[in-house]
């Protein structure tokens, strides 16, 4: 009869249960029924297989059966699979196939075939989606008829098994003599084993019960030292690495050295050697890992080849001059070369930055030219400014707030005036005294004459220092030094002392009278008693009228000290190897800054501060006391005559460094000291808006000169 897969399996399971029950309960029952059930049970074992029973089944067949058993569509037929493993791939007769088996396997296989005498079982083995050229599935056909067996093996591994047809009539099972005895003997042995196991289990049960009835105090159990403890403490490579005879230590030292050589090889562009070292490092690490996993130290035998291979590579590295001594010398040479390169780049950067800071931007030059042209072409503009200055009595009124700025930069000066006017509580009391040079005099006057209405009532006076008759070489040491050939060569020739003096010390602007005019303020404004000096690179953020009410305690100069850092003390600016400096000034005295200073001109005249300045300028004719700018002579001139102001009045550093945003917000005057001025391309971008908000970009002159 034809059966589908599920029905066939259910039938076999039912017959198996029936046989097992009848074997116990119906020993004296109908012999035919018992034999039929036995035959069905054997057939089920033939189809399903039995791992524990078969001595022929190999490990490969077991694993194959287990894997096949996971697939719901697969019937694992262990016996047939086992037979295929033994036979081959050629079409064989039983005599040829059985001759390839050993005697024991051959005997078992023959018994299995004997037990199915009279049955016709056809089993198909097919591989998924595999067809022969003629379209038929490859198959294995097993049949027993007239004592003739034919086996047609499949072309490859077996995936699926179907029982297609099974017919069985009433057949008398032929049994060899001795079968009953053997099976009865097996049953007796099995029964004896089960009785022995049951007895042992009962004895153990009674023993546990008897011990449970007697509760005795347990002695404290000492902590066992497992191998895991040794692994954590010792095989964590701690004890192993400390041992001088440890193989693991030698391997680890080789790994460390090889890692260093890998880096050096890569830097030397020897990529193949670096790859070889990396591969050997991995091998050594695997060796250490295996030792740690099994929790036992490395032996010489297992690590000999790895150590030898690594030693060969390390020797090659030494031949390539990768050893420590050579590499130290090479690294020292590299460091020295890099330091020289860095020094050269730093010097170039400083030089180019200084040049950029000294150059006049094209837009600023354009503005000066256009304003000068406007001044001489517009006679009404000249007449208006002259009339205002003639009748303006504010210029000498000491009850007002007088500010002075000495500059040749029109746009920078306008920002100082605009920011002060816009942040002043009483702009009508503010008076600005501007001093410039003759070149920019007309342009400066034209700018403020045109924009006077935007200044909220602030009074502006513009002068040029060439009009001061007292400013001559017989009175001013700087002008006298300009006539000296050595000074002219130092600042203007370009043939300096072989580059020993930095370029910033040779900037001619430090000889400009606009820079040194701050030491002649009483002469410039003889009628004034107190004045606030502002540099042209500052921005005013708050009202400055309170500065005029500060008591300077008989001092001449009110300034913000800058000694929060060591490089702002006197020893940074002055040459303390000179006995004149060393004997008169404390090297750790606190420095201060020009840019926003309150000067008491009455006290200045009384103490003859300008004379002190002249004295030190004449002593420094050979530039041995200081080299740079106007701050060092200022520190000497106002030594002991300076009153410290609150730090928030004057915030420095926006032209060369980062400044805390909270400090900037609280500051009254922001100073863009340094080379990175806000009107230059090199200015610090994040600080430019603080300055640009006071620039009038709507002015036609600004737009014509591409100010942006």
pLDDT tens per residue, range 338-393: 898 898 888 888 777 777 777 788 999 999 999 999 999 998 888 877 777 665 78
Q: Which pLDDT belongs to residue 249?
A: 87
Beta bridge partners, 92, equal 151
Among 182-186, 524-528, 692-696, name the one with the lowest average pLDDT: 182-186
CB 115 within 8 A of CB 183: no
Task: Please give the Cα distance from 547 to 539 (Å, whole number).
Answer: 16
Q: What is the pLDDT, as a whole number, of residue 146?
A: 39
pLDDT attached to residue 296 = 84
The tens digit of pLDDT for each residue in 137-160 reads: 333 334 333 333 343 333 333 323
Predicted local distance difference test score (pLDDT) of residue 181: 45
What is the rounded distance in angstroms from the CA atom of residue 708 to the CA atom of residue 705? 9
Q: According to the model, what pLDDT value does residue 154 have?
A: 37
Lowest-confidence region among 365-369, 481-485, 530-534: 481-485
pLDDT confidence of 228, banded at 50, 70, 90? Answer: very low
Q: CB of 277 within 8 A of CB of 262?
A: yes
Least confident of 54-63, 138-147, 633-642: 138-147
For residue 504, which of 358, 361, 359 has the smallest C-alpha distance? 358
Confidence band, pLDDT 50/70/90 cuts, at residue 674: confident
* Cβ atoms of residues 569 and 587 within 8 Å: yes
Angle at 309 between CA 303 and CA 315, to 5 degrees: 130
- Sole residue written with tokens 């066992």: 224
142-145 and 148-151 as β-strands: parallel, antiparallel, unpaired? antiparallel
**3-class secondary-structure state, position 71:** coil
Q: What is the 3-state secondary structure (H, E, C) of 362-385?
A: HHHHHHHHHHHHHHHHCHHHHHHH
pLDDT value at position 123? 37
**Rounded (10°) CA dihedral 204, 205, 209, 210:** -40
Q: Would you list the DSSP string of 6-54?
A: HHHHHHHHHHHHHHHHHHHH-TTS-HHHHHHHHHHHHHHHHHH--TTT-
Higher-pLDDT residue of 111 and 125 is 111
Q: How confident is the model at residue 318 (pLDDT cuts 50, 70, 90)?
A: confident
Helices 5-25 and 31-48 sit at what angle, rounded to 10 degrees?
130
Torsion over CA: 75, 79, 80, 86 (sign): positive
Nearest-angstrom CA–CA distance, 32 and 169: 12
590: DSSP letter:
B
pLDDT in tens, 246-258: 888 889 889 988 9
**Higher pLDDT, residue 280 or 493:** 280
In the structure, what pLDDT confidence band is assigned to residue 24 with cuts at 50, 70 and 90? low
What angle is formed at CA 707 by the lines to CA 705 and CA 708, rounded to 5 degrees? 150
Q: Is the pLDDT of residue 35 over 90?
A: no
Quote the radius of gyration of the chain (alpha carbons, Å): 54
Q: What pLDDT, on the 0 to 100 scale, is given for residue 203? A: 82
Tokens of 708: 């942006």
Q: Which residues contact 576 (CB under 8 A, 6 or more apart)?
A: 582, 587
Q: How far is it, in rounded angstroms, from Cα 351 to Cα 152? A: 95
Is the Cα torsion angle 81, 158, 62, 85 positive or negative in sign? positive
Residues 357, 676: Cα–Cα separation, whole Å: 7
Mean pLDDT, range 428-432, rounded to an integer:
96
pLDDT computed for residue 230 by the predictor = 41
Q: Cα(68)–Cα(701) distance, rounded to whole angstroms?
A: 94
Going along 272-328, which residue ranges are E strands? none
Query: Largest alpha-carbon pair distance within the chain?
Result: 152
State residue 191's pLDDT score.
Answer: 76
Between 32 and 195, where is the model more confident?
195
Cβ neighbours of residue 92 closer than 8 Å, sequence gap 6 or more: 151
Reported confidence tier of residue 96, pLDDT bands at 50, 70, 90: very low
- Determine how β-strand 120-126 pairs with β-strand 160-167: antiparallel
| Alpha carbon separation from 558 to 285, 393, 547, 640, 651 (Å, rounded) | 71, 27, 9, 11, 15
User: pLDDT band at residue 564, thresholds of 50, 70 and 90?
Assistant: confident
pLDDT value of residue 611: 97
Q: What is the pLDDT of residue 199?
A: 83
Whole-number Å distance between alpha carbons of 241 and 249: 5
Predicted confidence (pLDDT) at residue 601 exceeds the cutoff of 50: yes
- Mean pLDDT, the chain, as a whole number? 75
- Contact 241/248 with Cβ under 8 angstroms? yes
CA 500 to chain centre: 41
Specify the higher pLDDT residue, 177 or 615.
Answer: 615
Q: How many residues are there in the chain?
A: 708
Taking alpha carbons only, the member of 214, 303, 207 closest to residue 252 is: 303
SS3 598: strand
Average pLDDT for residues 86-95, to the nearest whole number?
35
Q: Averaged over 581-595, what is the pLDDT?
A: 93
pLDDT class for 401, splitting at 50, 70, 90? Answer: very high
Given a cut of 90, is residue 423 above it in pLDDT? yes
Q: List CB contacts of 678: < 8 A, sequence separation 6 or more.
A: 537, 654, 655, 672, 684, 687, 688, 690, 691, 692
pLDDT tier, 695 (very low <50, low <70, confident <90, very high otherwise): very high
Task: Give pLDDT, residue 312.
Answer: 92
C-alpha span between 1 and 684 (Å, rounded): 98
Residue 164: predicted pLDDT: 29
Q: What is the pLDDT of residue 185?
A: 53
The mean-pLDDT minimum among 194-203, 320-329, 513-522 falls in 320-329
- 309 Rama class: left (phi>0) / alpha (psi -120 to 50) / beta: alpha
**Among 63, 65, 150, 54, CA closest to 108:** 54
- The pLDDT assigned to 80 comes to 45
Q: Which residue has the higher pLDDT, 449 or 154?
A: 449
Cα–Cα distances in Å, from 291 out to 241, 294, 513?
13, 5, 83
CB atoms within 10 A of CB 568: 16
Taking residues 184-194, what's their average pLDDT?
Answer: 66
Higher pLDDT, 185 or 706: 706
Segment 577-599 mean pLDDT:
94
% of the chain residues with pLDDT over 70: 64
Model pLDDT, residue 3: 43
Compute how many other C-beta atoms are within 10 angstroms of the C-beta atom of residue 285: 13
Q: Is the pTM of this model over 0.85?
A: no
User: Does residue 559 carry a pLDDT above 80?
Assistant: yes
**In this structure, what token pair is assigned to residue 289?**
């890992």
Nearest to 157 by CA among 53, 67, 52, 56: 67
Q: Give the full edge-to-edge strand order of the sheet including 530-534.
A: 459-464, 430-436, 401-406, 530-534, 596-600, 557-559, 642-644
Which H, E and C letters describe 91-118, residue by residue? CECHHHHHCCCCHHHHHHHHHHHHCCCC
Lookup result for tokens 């562009």: 269
* DSSP three-state, residue 403: strand
Provide CB contacts within 8 A for 23, sequence distance 6+: 34, 37
- Per-residue pLDDT band at 427 (split at 50, 70, 90): very high
| pLDDT over 60 at 50, yes or no | no
Average pLDDT over residues 109-120: 48
Percent of the chain with pLDDT over 90: 40
């Amino acid at each position: 009869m034809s059966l589908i897969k599920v029905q066939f399996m259910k039938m076999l399971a039912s017959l198996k249960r029936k046989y097992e029950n009848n074997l116990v309960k119906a020993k004296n029952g109908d012999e035919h029924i018992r034999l039929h059930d036995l035959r069905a049970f054997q057939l089920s074992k033939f189809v399903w297989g039995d791992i524990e029973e078969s001595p022929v089944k190999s490990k490969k067949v077991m694993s194959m059966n287990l894997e096949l058993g996971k697939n719901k569509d697969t019937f694992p037929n262990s016996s047939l699979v086992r037979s295929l493993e033994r036979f081959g791939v050629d079409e064989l007769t039983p005599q040829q196939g059985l001759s390839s088996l050993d005697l024991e396997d051959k005997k078992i296989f023959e018994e299995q075939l004997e037990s199915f005498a009279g049955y016709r079982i056809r089993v198909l083995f097919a591989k998924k989606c595999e067809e022969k050229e003629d379209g038929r599935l490859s198959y294995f056909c097993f049949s027993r008829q007239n004592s003739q067996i034919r086996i047609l093996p499949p072309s490859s591994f077996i995936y699926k098994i179907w029982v297609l047809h099974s017919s069985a009539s009433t057949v008398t099972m032929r049994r060899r003599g001795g079968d009953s005895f053997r099976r009865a003997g097996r049953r007796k042995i099995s029964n004896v084993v089960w009785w022995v196991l049951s007895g042992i289990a009962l004895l153990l049960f009674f023993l546990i019960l008897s011990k449970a009835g007697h509760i005795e105090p347990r002695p404290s159990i000492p902590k066992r030292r497992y191998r895991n403890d040794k692994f954590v403490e010792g095989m964590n490579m701690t004890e192993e690495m400390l041992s001088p005879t440890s193989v693991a230590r030698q391997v680890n030292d080789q790994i460390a050295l090889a890692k260093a050589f890998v880096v050096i090889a890569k830097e030397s562009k020897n990529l193949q050697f670096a790859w070889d070292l990396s591969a050997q490092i991995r091998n050594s690490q695997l060796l250490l890992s295996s030792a740690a996993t099994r929790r036992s130290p490395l032996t010489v035998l297992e690590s000999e080849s790895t150590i030898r291979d690594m030693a060969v590579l390390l020797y090659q590295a030494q031949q390539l001059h990768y050893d420590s001594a050579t590499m130290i010398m090479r690294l020292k040479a590299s460091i020295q070369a890099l330091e020289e390169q860095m020094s050269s780049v730093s010097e170039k950067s400083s030089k180019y930055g200084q040049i950029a800071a000294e150059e006049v931007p094209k837009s600023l030059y354009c503005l000066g030219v256009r304003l000068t042209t406007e001044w001489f072409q517009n006679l009404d503009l000249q007449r208006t400014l002259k009339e205002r200055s003639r009748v303006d009595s504010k210029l000498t009124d000491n009850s007002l707030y007088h500010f002075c700025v000495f500059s040749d930069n029109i746009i920078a000066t306008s920002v100082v005036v605009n920011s002060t006017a816009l942040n002043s509580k009483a702009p009508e009391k503010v008076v600005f005294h501007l001093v410039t040079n003759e070149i920019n005099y007309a342009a400066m006057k034209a700018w403020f004459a045109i924009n006077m209405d935007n200044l909220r009532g602030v009074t502006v006076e513009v002068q040029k220092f060439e009009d001061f008759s007292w400013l001559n070489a017989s009175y001013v040491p700087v002008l006298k030094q300009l006539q000296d050939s050595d000074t002219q060569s130092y600042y203007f020739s370009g043939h300096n002392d072989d580059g020993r003096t930095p370029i910033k010390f040779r900037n001619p602007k430090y000889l400009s009278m606009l820079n040194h005019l701050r030491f002649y303020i009483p002469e410039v404004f003889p009628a004034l008693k107190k004045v606030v000096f502002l540099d042209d690179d500052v921005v005013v953020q708050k009202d400055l009228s309170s500065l005029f009410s500060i008591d300077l305690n008989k001092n001449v100069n009110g300034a913000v000290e800058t000694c929060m850092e060591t490089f702002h003390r006197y020893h940074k600016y002055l040459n303390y190897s000179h006995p004149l400096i060393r004997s008169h000034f404390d090297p750790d005295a606190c420095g201060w800054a020009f840019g926003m200073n309150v000067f008491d001109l009455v006290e200045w005249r009384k103490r003859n501060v300008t004379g002190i300045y002249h004295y030190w300028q004449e002593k420094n004719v050979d530039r041995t006391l200081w080299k740079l700018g106007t701050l060092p002579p200022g520190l000497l001139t106002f030594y002991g005559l300076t009153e410290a102001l609150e730090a928030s009045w004057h915030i420095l550093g926006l032209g060369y460094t980062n400044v805390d945003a909270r400090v900037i917000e609280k500051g009254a005057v922001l100073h863009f000291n340094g080379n990175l001025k806000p009107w230059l391309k090199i200015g610090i971008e994040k600080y430019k808006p603080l300055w640009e908000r006071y620039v009038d970009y709507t002015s036609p002159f600004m737009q014509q000169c591409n100010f942006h």
